Structure 1
Amino acid sequence: MMNRIVAAIAIGILGLVAIIYFTMDFPFSLERKDFEPEYSVEQKWDMPNRLEEISGMDFVDNYRMAAIQDEEGIIFIYNLSTKKIEREIDFGKSGDYEGLAIVENDAFVLRSDGVIFEVDNYLAENPNVTKYETFIKAKHNAEGLCADLKNDCLLLAVKDRDPLSNNIKGIYAFDLKTKKLLQTPAYAIDLEDPIFENVKTKNKLTVMMPSEVNINPKTGEVYITDGRNPKLLILSPDGDSKKLYLLKREQFYQPEGLAFRKNGDFFISNEGHSDPANILKVDLK
């Protein structure tokens, strides 16, 4: 009798697993795995425990990186040469912080509900903080922020459902003069673009789930990472899809941050998992 009960429980569990597998969306398992990387990792920095969930970063200078992690209202200054955190700058309460951009002496931090924090003169002893509401809300899940100095704005990327359409993922401009988020996307990722032909998923909204955005200072191209299903999308300065790089999960467990040196050196940050969070210097072939 006991053996029958055990067998019935086992069959029930297997049936439940089968139902979950065939009814839910698992983009990780459906992503094409048999590909040769079109990039190389040139250098790696393992992060200390304080930066286990690094979610955004930008360069202070050639060797110091400003970084945030997605739970604390703190900007961390990390030195790539000494491999140490030099300073912690408090700017707000605990929250889901997902993007960081430096504009001259000011730092801007993005929260996932679309709120942008301006940390005026962020390296001063007591920086002033101003908060800006936008039309992006928690259901849209903002996950990406960078400075577009040429157009005097910030770029904000939407990860989940775009406020305008289910067919795109918008990248919106936050005007640094008016401190308003413009209603029309500066760039729109077409989720039906043929460039995603090797991305296999049942849910169109998971074709591209931006986790960060930045602009290559040498080419003007727009770089966008997907942290859930590791990939890197490059748009031309005009917004046309140019190149899609699939990223190996063993190297890029969860790519969440993008940063460029002024000379074009390219860096990606990854949140930690079984290994520490890290920052990688990447060379694209």
Structure 2
Amino acid sequence: MNKIVVVITIGILAIVAIVYFTLDFPFNMDRGDFTEEYKIEERWDLPNRLEEISGMDFVDEDRMAAVQDEEGIIFIYNLSSKEIEQEIEFGKSGDYEGLAIVGKDAFVMRSDGVLFEIQNYLSDKPLVTQHETFIKAKHNAEGLCADLKNNRLLVAVKDRDPVNNDTKGIYAFDLETKQLQEKPVFAIQLDDEIFTNVKTKNKLRVMMPSEVNIHPETGEIYVLDAKNPKLLILTPTGETKKVYLLKEDKFYQPEGIAFRKNGSLFISNEGHSDPANILKVELQ
């Protein structure tokens, strides 16, 4: 009997150790006290229907297109009226993580690397096409944005990189060939000195991109991390420039980034004890 108890005890301790070292617990990062280098200018508390907003992009100055984690629907949310104006179905239930608008078309990224192209997405009968990529569920694609200057989309992986375990890659989907290029256009080095204050049990947790977008005026690349809330800024050529640590009481789970044409920054947060929200943020 004692041997059985010992075996069970060892098994339980092993499971606890595996969970501790592999799962995305917030205590994996030693954040400490830090000064908030940003100001929240406006806040929109979202309706329950948008409790898990995971990707967004501007339709125009007032309207935001957004997707949720589990529904194959694009929601059109009006920032002025604070209401959902339209719902556009494009697929079955799934883990949808990123959204990008290119003219009259919308693109939605599923976490397993399948990209949905919704042509004439605001029309009564949008045409939906699926594009397979080499990104798989284990890589967990979460970030998606339009890079119109280069006629491509940018795709960021959250978990294990398909090419290099020492980096988190940002890949380009060519809008002409409709193919995802196998070599990343940007690679975030997980041992970069900019992450000196980020202490984790697993190096893959140093940066876990939940969204990516391009500043319309500077061309800088903004990469969001929802698990250990922070915002990384890369230069237009991909060098690390600045990292902003985000207070969890204001950014519980930041999942989406969108810019107005004038460069105003908007960040969405999934709901928790408080409603999901969209924040207009000024970086300092």
Give TM-score, length-normalised by structure 2.
Answer: 0.93
CA change 1:77–1:218 in 2 (3 A) is same
Q: Which amino acid aligns with 1:205?
A: L
- Structure 1 residue 283 and structure 2 residue 282: aligned? yes
The residue aligned with 2:143 is: 144
Matched-pair contact (CA < 8 Å) for 1:27–1:200: no
Partner residue, 2:59: 60
Shift of 1:202: 1.3
Residues 1:181 and 2:180 aligned together: yes
SS at match of 1:195: helix
Residue 31 of structure 1 deviates from its aligned partner by 2.8
Residue 28 of structure 1 deviates from its aligned partner by 1.8
Instruction: Tell me how far 1:27 sits from its aligned partner.
Output: 5.3
State the SS of the aligned residue for 2:177: coil
Structure 2, unmatched stretches of 5+, are 1-8
C-alpha separation in 2, matches of 1:111 and 1:202: 28
* 1:118-157 matched pairs, under 5 angstroms: 118-157=117-156
Q: Distance in 1 between matches of 2:141 and 2:18?
A: 28
Q: Is residue 232 of structure 1 aligned with residue 226 of structure 2?
A: no
Instruction: Report deviation, 1:96.
Output: 0.3
Structure-1 separation of matches of 2:201 and 2:168: 17
Share of identical aligned residues, percent? Answer: 70
- 1:6 — aligned with what? none
- In the other structure, the counterpart of 1:97 is 96
Structure 1 residue 20 displacement after superposition: 4.8
Residue type at the aligned position of 2:47: P
Structure 1 residues 161 and 82, CA gap change in structure 2 (3 angstroms): same
TM-score, scaled to structure 1: 0.92
The DSSP-based 3-state class of the residue aligned with 1:150 is helix
Secondary structure of 2:160 counterpart:
coil
The answer as to whether partners of 1:91 and 1:129 remain within 8 angstroms in 2 is: yes
User: Amino acid of the residue matched to residue 257 of structure 1?
Assistant: G
Alignment partner, residue 28 of structure 1: 26
Q: CA RMSD in A?
A: 1.8
Report the secondary structure of 1:256's partner residue: strand
| Contact 2:21 2:202 (8 Å CA) reproduced | no
- In structure 1, the residue matched to 2:6 is none
Q: In 2, distance between residues paired with 1:23 and 1:33?
A: 20
For 1:7, the equivalent position in structure 2 comes to: none
Q: Partners of 1:56 and 1:114 in 2: how far apart?
A: 15
Task: Give CA-to-partner distance per residue, 1:158-183, whole Å, 9 cap, x none.
Answer: 00000111100000000000000001
Q: Distance in 2 between matches of 1:257 and 1:20?
A: 32
CA distance in 2, matches of 1:111, 1:32: 30
Consecutive unaligned residues in structure 1, runs of 5 or more: 1-11
Size of the alignment, in residue pairs?
A: 272
